[in-house]
Structure 1
């Protein structure tokens, strides 16, 4: 019974493989884009909570957010909504020209200034099961690394806005279906070229496995390359708004690197697995570069600042 079912399923798949490929590609694209199409779901996952309720963004940060929208000449500012996010730096999701618009999460430490640290010390941070003592030497260093100037805050928010504004979510979501389609077409082409289509099933299976492995490798390399390009593009566009934004960008990445080095020490063995001595993320991951190095992003903005000052 099972053998008959498998035989019928195999015949059906061969007959409708182009249709299956099209639906698979659309499914992958939709899955990768899902939280951008429904940004409120993303918001609920990343929202900061206080006393059992979603935290409200301060009036000051709402004003900063509107200033950033104006500085970046956003044509439809109503398409962007800000919310109080958990974590240490801004996050975002959405496609501005869709009805749901886009959301940008701003962390509570952005409410802190050099004079007033309330946005940091009012929140409990637990590392390795221990609450960070903000008065200890490590706590003071971490607090300084989490306190950004107005220019750095504006840059960090601006890069999230220009990332969404430039259609980057669509480009990222398209990598997987494009690689799947390319792998399928290459596999068919190779089998036709080598005359394996009418050949033994073992040889066809080996060819399929090799093609699938090559396709997976191509996906990893392509996804990392696209991520790297889009991150640098967003940084470059945000930094070229003005000299103040460029200076803010240098400070933002300097403090992220400083924060990561501090966390690396506080987290012990786990920290060495997450952060490199330079402060970059995931120092060892075989051939992949899953995250654009913060050191490179800082150097990119340093060069932009030098050009603007020249």
Structure 2
């Protein structure tokens, strides 16, 4: 075993480590890049909601609603064809790809976006922890109310996804693991050469590699989570900037997302407490992978208040004149 480890200190072993590190780094990047470009259709097939072996189509009314969002966000005519929507499993929006790539992007729209009222809910098909939702309980009724979104709330959610698709978001998330892998290798190689660690015992190098690896992982996690939060905030700002109606739709959207998560937390029991907080946010331990929903809700509420203030000031000026 010791001879195998010492082989990496040889010239051949170091060359192997160099090639291996760069291969792993590029592998990380391609693992994110390919599903969001050349394998985008395959990615959609995995995320698609199926019924009797066939993908569930997006209802016409939802398609028209999405097309209206593209119009409201002033998406250029030549760019509209880059967007493709499909029905996704679950109750959360999804996106992959980017309009910055020739392959375009896909946006997954949940089935509940076809609901106009609680009468449209397919109650016999919705399962929580492989059990039917207890619709007559308080948490079941709260869940029922939360999954029905108004057209304004739906349009807000779609606008956020459009904003994300117009950004380099997905590609940056592929770039970070590649760069941190290169950084870890370059740092370890430099320290090995500077302090001649190849001639020392392996546990010294092993300790150094562990420290560098943890630091590189921390850099990746920080860059990944910070970028995700910043682009999610930008998506909220872009959606709110469309019109006051969109901002009010966003206010409803986040209120219902939080209400839904709280209801799920109660229905799932101890497992639900591990997934959602008492306020409806995602539970976090080490990393804040997304901007908390309560923070996004507060941001939207601020924009609604600003819009109302402008309206009131405008009315005062009209009366004064």
- TM-score of the pair, normalised by structure 2: 0.86
Partner of 2:288: 289
Distance, in Å, in 2 between the alignment partners of 1:133 and 1:199 is 64
Q: Does 1:87 align with 2:90?
A: yes
1:60 matched to 2:61: yes
1:226-245 alignment, distance < 5 Å: 226-245=227-246
**Pairs within 5 Å for 1:142-291:** 142-191=143-192, 194=195, 196=197, 199-282=200-283, 284-285=284-285, 287-291=286-290
CA RMSD of aligned residues (A): 2.6
Separation in 2 of the partners of 1:308 and 1:186? 51
Matched, 1:24 2:24: yes
Relative to structure 1, is the Cα distance of residues 133 and 101 closer, same or farther in structure 2, using a 3 angstrom cutoff? same
Range 294-303 or range 1-10, more displaced? 1-10
Match of 2:119 in 1: 117
Deviation, 1:300, is 1.4
C-alpha deviation, 1:262, in angstroms: 0.4
1:193 deviation in Å?
5.4
Secondary structure of the equivalent of 1:81? strand
Counterpart of 1:15 in structure 2 is: 15
State the Cα distance separating 1:132 from its structure 2 match. Answer: 1.6
Counterpart CA distance in 2 for 1:10 and 1:43 is 46
Structure 1: runs of 5+ lacking an equivalent: none
- Secondary structure of residue in 1 paired with 2:106: strand
Q: Deviation string for 1:242-275 (max 9, x for gaps)?
A: 1111111111111000000000000111111111
Post-superposition offset of 1:130:
2.2
Q: 185-194 or 257-266, which moves further after superposition? A: 185-194
Instruction: Describe the SS at the equivalent of 2:91.
Output: coil
TM-score by length of 1: 0.89
* Alignment check: 8 A CA contact 2:8 2:17 kept: no
Deviation of 1:231 after TM superposition, in Å, equals 1.5
Q: How many residues align?
A: 306
Change in 2 beyond 3 A, CA 1:295/1:3 = same
The 1:127/1:63 distance shift into structure 2, 3 A limit, reads: same
Whole-Å separation in 1 of the counterparts to 2:165 and 2:204: 46
Structure 2, unaligned stretches of length 5 or more?
311-321
Any idea what SS the aligned residue of 2:85 has? Answer: strand
User: Secondary structure of the equivalent of 1:96?
Assistant: coil
- 1:282-310 deviations in Å (ceiling 9; x for gaps): 2x41x311232100111111222223333
Cα offset, 1:185, TM superposition: 2.6
CA deviations 1:92-143 (Å, max 9, x no partner) are: 11122434321111111111124x631x236611123321244554333211
Contact 1:79–1:97 (Cα < 8 Å) also in 2? no
Task: Answer yes or no: is the 8 Å Cα contact 1:191–1:207 preserved in 2.
Answer: no
Deviation at 1:43, TM superposition (A): 1.4
CA–CA separation in structure 2 for the residues paired with 1:31 and 1:105: 20
